[in-house]
Structure formats: structure tokens, C-alpha cells
Amino acid sequence: MASVPSLASTVQQRLAEGLSAALPEAGSADPLLRRSDRADFQANGILALAKQLKGNPRELAAKVVGAIPANDVLGEIEVSGPGFLNITVTDAAIVRTLAARAADDRLGVPFNESAGTTVIDYAQPNVAKEMHVGHLRSAVIGAAMVEILEFTGEKVVRRHHIGDWGTQFGMLIQYLEEHPHELDHKDAEVTGEEAMSNLDRLYKAARRLFDADEEFKTRARRRVVDLQAGDPGTLATWQRFVDESKIYFFSVFEKLDMDIRDEDIVGESGYNDMLNETCRLLEESGVAVRSEGALCVFFDDIKGPDGNPTPLIVQKSDGGFGYAATDLSAIRDRVQNLKASTLLYVVDARQALHFRMVFETARRAGWLNEDVKAVQLAFGTVLGKDGKPFKTREGETVRLVDLLDEAIDRASAVVREKAQDLTEDEIAERGAQVGIGAVKYADLSTSAARDYKFDLDQMVSLNGDTSVYLQYAYARIQSILRKAGDAKPAAHPELALAPSERALGLHLDAFGELVAETAAEYAPHKLASYLYQLASLYTTFYSECPVLKADTAEQVENRLFLCELTARTLHRGMALLGIRTPERL
Ligand code: ARG
């Protein structure tokens, strides 16, 4: 394990050295290095510096260049325009740094030196309810962030804050008590689909009765009280709903090729024991006040349409606890017991106000302090092709499972069409990997905050910014490596590189910085876009540079080396996004 400094950081350092040697009065000015189309890099920092020092930027730039000691990384440095530096690194430096990356399991990606503990709240469906596309987003983005953060050395604790508590359970439990066989299974093994359809049927029947029958309504309300009082029989029936729902959740997560663990499921009910104390602490400290019987927290800047302040209600006037009390208790648990330094919530942007109020309340109560960061990684809405929130023709919420199945079907058709030597089993397996990958990638490749259109045609397209395109790029490289026979990938820094080799190489070299940026900004779309560029640069390289038919044996080896490192980087990057890269497609 050795982290490898990127060429960008080496160049940056050389320039900074040149700067302070040439202009000691400039202190530790930033040369502002960027990747550039004109050369490999461009440094713009001297312009601002010249202004500050009231000097001529071109002269200063020339002075800096003169002060950089001879070295084997920088090829050419040219002063251009009003005082930019255009910098080209040597071919040898590119190949040498890539060889160092290739020698490392982690591709030279450094660990974050200030890593801490992040508790990430994601994949939080609701008991006895169908999962929908919103739950998909939280699961997909959350799972990617788990992998990315862990890869940078962060300790990650996963929490699935499922909706498993609330007044609606009175109605469900009462109904099941009165119709005790409604959740019985025909066979010992029940599938997730069956479990969900039982729950759904029961939910609808209970709702109907609740709306039509006053006496049932009364019994259901009494049941809520029993549930909150911890009556053992009532709790046992409640548990049946939770267990049945988990069968369904796990079947969906499995279809999503996602590793969700039972011990990380700590739903709203998991904080029941803390709720009274949370309220007491808030009231005693004056953070919350009683208002019309309810326990409320007020904010100067949060007002409703009528101009009156909108409070966060921690306890309702009937004594019931809501969503806020649970989330505040969860914060106490995560900070005090789990020792979180960061709380990350992957939750729909439409809950932004809730989290703003919850975080602010926790800060006032001292449960969050300067040492703990709380962030909502808010995501936008999934839209249909018509640009409206995704619904069926009948206006109902689309079942997540139906969407996933359709994605897998479409992907299997694509795989079958391109398959040359795949068996039926392999087509089915690849179809699932490609279909699920397509759904995840579409979700991850636009910035989370934005809405996106769920368009399966586009998602499984072989051209464009799709996971299929990336998966084919990976499989194509594997096929080249298989065909190489005795020729083995090997780095040859003595060879001159073609422009497309340089472009590919410099991009490969930037992987570590990109991962760090993705982790720090909670922005998986940056990784997706990096990988897409990588595949595109590879495609150009491959069309311009023959690999197995290159001129010399050394060149064959060096190009195979570039192929292999590209494949490993694609594989690693896709894995961080939760997407498989089949060896053959
Ligand atoms: N179960 C909620 C929903 O379906 C999401 C829970 C988000 N997490 C939280 N700590 N409030 O919308």
C-alpha cells in the first residue's frame, strides 16, 4: 500500500518551489494549476500575484520558470498570453507514475488523513408499504457513498431509518388481530413479492374498514395506545408486520445487488426508549416550549405562508411523538454512542426543511457541536418521460420492483443481441448486472440534487453516458488482454507516447484526487463523469493506437499496460458506485 502523488500534485509542488525561490515576497502563493487543452496543465496564479506585487506578469512568469530546478517530470514550460504558464510533463514521467499506481492494490489512491466516523442514514423504506423510486435513490446514492467513504479510510456506520412506527400501525394491528390469517404463508418459503402483496392487500382492507366503520376506528385508536404502552401482544403483532416487510425489503435490495445488513436496520421504533428523555431535555433547557399543549421549537426565519412561525413539533398535544422526536433521539444516539463525527442523511430534498429544523434544534441543545457535521445529501425527484413526477398511467406510484424487472428485461435483450459466446444462464446473469447497473448509473450520473427522467431506452443505450457503455469498454479490454497470449502488460517509460496515450495516461493519474473530491463533496456524479471520460479516452486511444499489432514488442507491452490499468480503474470506480463489470459481455 503506497499512495502515489499525482503528476498534477508534483507539478504543483515544483511550481510552488519556483514561485517562492523567484519571489520570496510572494510567500506561499498558489500557482493555480489546472488541466488544460493547450498543454497538459496551465497555471494561472501568477496573474493575480503580479497584480498584488504590481509587477509585469509575463516577466514574473519568466522569472518563476527560471527558478524551477531541472527535474525529470516537467518537459516544457512556456509563458503564454498575459502571463499563464503552459506546462507539459514528460512521457516518461507519465508512464512511471502510472507504473507506481499499477503496483498498488488501491491504484495509489491515498487515505484521507483527517478521516473520522460517518453515520450514514440511507435506504429507509416504510413497513407495510411498497418501495418507490424515492427509496431507490436513497439506497443507490447511499450505498455508493458508503463504498466511496470507506475506500478513503472513513469509518462508516450504516443506519436504515425505516418507517416502522406511527399511528397507522394501530389500524393494521387491529385488523390483523381480527383477521389473524391474513399474513399466513402458503409455503414455508415466502417470496418478497408475495410478502408485499399480502401486506398491500391487508393495508387496503384495513384502510377501507377504518374509513367506513366508526367502531373499528375506535378499536384501532385504542390499539395505538397499547402499542405505545408496550403491550406484549400488540408488540408481537406489530413485529409480524416488520418481519414480513423485511422479507420484501431484502428481496428488493438483493435485486438491486446491494448488501444491506439486518443489524444496520434501526428504524424509527429503535429510539422509543429515548423519546421521553429527548423531550424532557429540550423542555428543561428551554430549547422547546409548550404551545397549545404541543412541545415546539421555534425559528426566527422559518414561517408559514400566513407569516406565523412554523415550529418543529417534537411532541403532539395528545402526547404522541412524531418524526422529529425520533430524528432528534437518533442524533443523540449517533453522536454520543456511535461517536459520529459526521451525520449524513441521504433523503429526498422535499424533507429539507425538516432536517434544517432538526439540525438547528440539536445544535441549540448541544447534541451537535463544532466537532460534528450534519449534512443532508438531498436528492431530487425521479420524473417520468413527460417530465412530471413518475406515476403510472392510472396516476399511482410506480412499484420499484416493476421498474427493476423491466430494466433487467431490456438489458437482457441488449446483451442477447450482442452476445457471441454466452450461454442462456450467462445472458440472464449479465442482463441483471447490466440492467441494475443501468438504473444505478442513471441515478448516480446526474448531481443528486437535480431531478432526473427515468428513461429506460436511454439508460440501456450502448452509446452515450450509460453504465452499459462503461461495462462494454471494460469487457472489451478484458478480451484484448485474453487475446494477448504471451505478451504481458509492462510499463516502458523509455517509449514516446502518442497524444491519445498521454491523454489517457494523465486521466488515469487523476483517479486518486477525483475519489477524494467525490468523497469530500458527497458527489458520486463526479466519479461517474470521471469514468465516462475514462472510457471515452480509452475509445480514442484504442482507435488511434493499435495494441496487439503495435510496432515493437515493447510498445505492445506498454499499450497492454495502459489497457490493464484502464480496466482496473474502471472496475474499481464502478465498484465504488455499486455497479458490476462483467469480464465478458
Ligand atoms: N422513511 C422515510 C421515507 O420514506 C425516510 C427516512 C429518512 N431518514 C430519517 N432519518 N428521517 O421518506
Ligand 1, pocket-test mutation among 161, 245, 354, 397, most atoms within 8 A of CB: 161
**215 and 291 inside one domain:** no
Q: Residue 359 belongs to what domain range? A: 117-162+267-375
Residues 430, 483, single domain; the answer is yes
Residue 387 belongs to some domain of the structure = no
Distance (angstroms) between ligand 1 centre and the Cα of 138 equals 9
- Reported as type and span, the H/E element at residue 430 is helix 424-444
Residue 338 belongs to a domain: yes
**At 458, which CATH number?**
1.10.730.10
Is residue 567 included in any domain, yes or no?
Answer: yes
Is the predicted pLDDT of residue 125 greater than 60, yes or no? yes
3-state secondary structure (DSSP) of residue 505: helix
DSSP three-state, residue 35: strand
What is the dihedral angle through the alpha carbons of 33, 34, 35, 37, rounded to the nearest 10 degrees? -110
Q: Domain check: are 36 and 50 in the same one?
A: yes
Compute and round to an integer the Cα radius of gyration of the chain: 29
Instruction: Please indicate, yes or no, if residue 385 is contained in any of the structural domains.
Output: no
Q: Are residues 526 and 431 part of one domain?
A: yes
pLDDT at 1: 57
Domain membership flag for residue 247: yes
**Assigned domain for 223 exists:** yes
- Residue list, ligand 1 pocket, CB within 6 Å: 121, 124, 126, 161, 163, 327, 345, 347
Higher pLDDT: 172 or 420? It is: 172
Q: How many CB atoms lie within 10 A of CB 487?
A: 16
Residues 11/73, Cβ–Cβ less than 8 Å: yes
Q: By alpha-carbon position, which residue is closest to atom 4 of ligand 1?
A: 125
**pLDDT at residue number 234:** 97
- Residues 530 and 562 occupy one common structural domain: yes
Q: Are residues 419 and 431 in the same domain?
A: yes
Decide if 38 is inside a domain. Answer: yes
Does position 109 have pLDDT exceeding 80, yes or no?
Answer: yes
Is the model's pLDDT at 232 over the cut of 70? yes
Residue with cell 429515548: 274
**Pairwise CA distance, residues 79 & 57, whole Å:** 10
Q: Which three cell numbers stand for residue 176?
A: 390483523
Amino acid at 514: L
Rounded to the nearest angstrom, the distance between the alpha carbon of 264 and the centre of ligand 1 is: 15
Q: Judging by beta carbons within 10 Å of its beta carbon (0-12, 13-18, 19+), is residue 85 exposed, middle or buried?
A: buried
Residue 562 lies in a domain: yes
Q: Cell numbers 441515478 label which residue?
A: 443
389 phi/psi in degrees, rounded to 5:
-50, 135
Residue 502 CA to residue 508 CA, distance in Å, equals: 10
Contact 470, 453 (CB under 8 A): no
* Predicted pLDDT at 134: 87
List the single range of 69-78, 486-495, 516-525 with lowest mean pLDDT: 69-78
In degrees, rounded to 5, the angle at the alpha carbon of residue 352 between the alpha carbons of residues 351 and 355 is 90
Locate the ligand 1 atom nearest the alpha carbon of residue 330 and give its number.
10
Q: Are residues 241 and 286 in the same domain?
A: no
| pLDDT of 194 higher than 60 | yes
SS3 content of the chain, % helix, strand, coil (to 5): 55, 10, 35
Q: Count of domains in the chain?
A: 4
From ligand 1's centre to the CA of 161, what distance in Å? 6
Please list, in sequence order, all residues whose beta carbon lies within 8 angstroms of the beta carbon of residue 262, skipping any fewer than 6 positions away. 246
Residue 347 CA, closest ligand 1 atom number: 7
Alpha carbon distance 250, 247 (integer Å): 5
Query: Which atom of ligand 1 has the smallest separation from the CA of 354?
Result: 11
Same domain (yes/no): 434, 505: yes
d(CA 381, CA 392): 15
Return the pLDDT at 185.
82
Distance of CA 402 from the midpoint of ligand 1 (Å): 22
* All residues at 6 or more sequence positions from 332 whose CB lies less than 8 Å from its CB, including other chains: 274, 278, 362, 367
- Distance, CA 163 to ligand 1 centroid (Å)? 7
Asked whether residue 434 falls in the same domain as residue 484, the answer is yes
Cα–Cα dist 473/566, whole Å: 9
Label residue 392 by pLDDT band (50, 70, 90): confident
Scanning 68-167, the segments in alpha helix (DSSP H) are 91-102, 133-151
C-alpha of residue 249 to centroid of ligand 1, in Å: 15
Distance CA 132, CA 144 (A): 19
State the pTM of this model: 0.96
Q: Name the domain boundary from 230, 263, 296.
A: 263
Q: Whose CA is nearest to atom 8 of ligand 1?
A: 161
Please check whether residues 199 and 241 belong to one and the same domain.
yes
User: For the domain that residue 82 is a member of, what is the CATH number?
Assistant: 3.30.1360.70
Which residue type occupies 214?
E
CA-to-CA distance for 462 and 567, rounded, in angstroms? 18
In the reported structure, the alpha carbon of residue 124 is separated from the centroid of ligand 1 by a whole-number distance in angstroms of 6
Up-side HSE of residue 255: CA atoms within 13 Å toward CB?
22
Q: Whose CA is nearest to atom 5 of ligand 1?
A: 124
Atom of ligand 1 nearest to the CA of 162: 1
Query: For 258-287, what is the mean pLDDT?
Result: 97
Task: Output 431 or 420, whichever has higher pLDDT.
Answer: 431
Q: Could you tell me the maximum CA-CA distance found in the chain, to the nearest angstrom?
A: 91
Same domain, 154 and 274: yes
Distance CA 332, CA 473 (A): 46
E strand spans, 143-189 = 155-159
* CA of residue 145 to ligand 1 center, whole Å: 17
Do 8 and 509 contact (CB within 8 A), yes or no?
yes
Q: How many CB atoms lie within 10 A of CB 520?
A: 13
Q: Which of 348, 353, 344, 349 is nearest to 373 (CA)?
A: 344
DSSP per-residue string spanning 56-70:
-HHHHHHHHHHHSPP
DSSP-derived secondary structure for 190-205: --HHHHHHHHHHHHHH
Half-sphere exposure of 327 (CA within 13 A, CB side): 25
Angle between helices 192-212 and 400-418 (to 10 degrees): 150
Last residue of a domain, one of 203, 229, 263: 263
Per-residue model confidence as pLDDT tens digits over 135-189? 999 999 999 999 999 999 999 999 999 999 999 999 999 999 999 999 888 777 8
The CATH number linked to 365 is 3.40.50.620
Please, what sign has the CA dihedral across residues 441, 445, 448, 454? negative
CB atoms within 10 A of CB 160: 23
Per-residue pLDDT reduced to its tens digit, 288-307:
999 999 999 999 999 888 88
Beta strands in 292-337 (DSSP E): 294-297, 312-315
Question: Of 220, 236, 263, at which residue does a domain stop?
Answer: 263
Query: In percent, how much of the chain has pLDDT > 90?
Result: 83
Pick the atom of ligand 1 nearest to 163's CA.
1
40 CA to centre of ligand 1 in angstroms: 46
Ligand 1 centroid–CA 176 distance in Å is 25
- Choice from 347, 379, 381 to test ligand 1 binding pocket (greatest atom count within 8 A of CB): 347
- Compute CA distances 299 → 289, 290, 296, 310, 359, whole Å: 12, 14, 10, 7, 12
Element (H, E) at 214: helix 214-229
Sequential DSSP letters for 224-236 = HHHHHHT-HHHHH
For residue 153, give the DSSP letter: T
CA of 537 to the centre of ligand 1 (A): 40
Which contacts of 16-23 are long-range, i.e. CB under 8 A and separated by 24 or more positions?
17/67, 17/68, 17/69, 18/64, 18/65, 18/67, 18/68, 19/45, 19/46, 19/49, 19/64, 19/67, 21/67, 21/68, 22/60, 22/63, 22/64, 22/66, 22/67, 23/49, 23/53, 23/60, 23/63, 23/64
Query: Do 273 and 340 lie in a common domain?
Result: yes
With the most atoms of ligand 1 within 8 angstroms of its CB, the residue from 326, 351, 377 to mutate is 351
